[in-house]
Amino acid sequence: MNRTVKAAALLLAALLMLLSFACTGVEKPAADPGAAFSRILSEVTFAAPLEDNSEYAEFMFGELPEGTQIKMHAAGGQYVDTAILFTAPSEADLPAVRAAAEAYLASVKEEFRLYHPEEVPKLDDAVIYTAGSSLILVVTEDVETVNSILY
């Protein structure tokens, strides 16, 4: 009888443990923004090769918090495909960075709506990912690969 009680208790404990894992799930840890950005540049399919336009990014995003670093790669020409990594001085600066990224998307959308409307859906599906004091913005048709890297 004692063995039966112990076996039942062990079975119940194992069942409760399984149920607790099923209810809470196991979250994937947040992607390291720098490593994720490198993977995006090498693994994601873009409509055309991306060029490093980081040296011009400061002029395109003048309203960012002082000290924000930008790595910007864009296809240019008739394509909106873009990958941008913003690294703000602190997490407190992230709302301003996000506002600048969203303003950029709206501006590009208006421009492309006139000249290359077939590119606008990519802007509508743009991925914005934040982790710590970083924000990654990616515009591509290959959103599935971007999400698999980030989430």
In the chain, what are the domain boundaries? 29-150
Residues 6+ apart with CB under 8 A from 40: 83, 136, 138, 146, 149
Tell me the β-bridge partners of 52: 73
pLDDT per residue as tens digits for the range 29-68: 567 999 999 999 999 999 999 999 999 998 888 789 999 9
Confidence band of 26 (pLDDT split at 50, 70, 90): very low
Residues 6+ apart with CB under 8 A from 132: 30, 33, 91
Structural tokens at position 72: 């910007």
pTM of the model: 0.80
Confidence band of 92 (pLDDT split at 50, 70, 90): very high
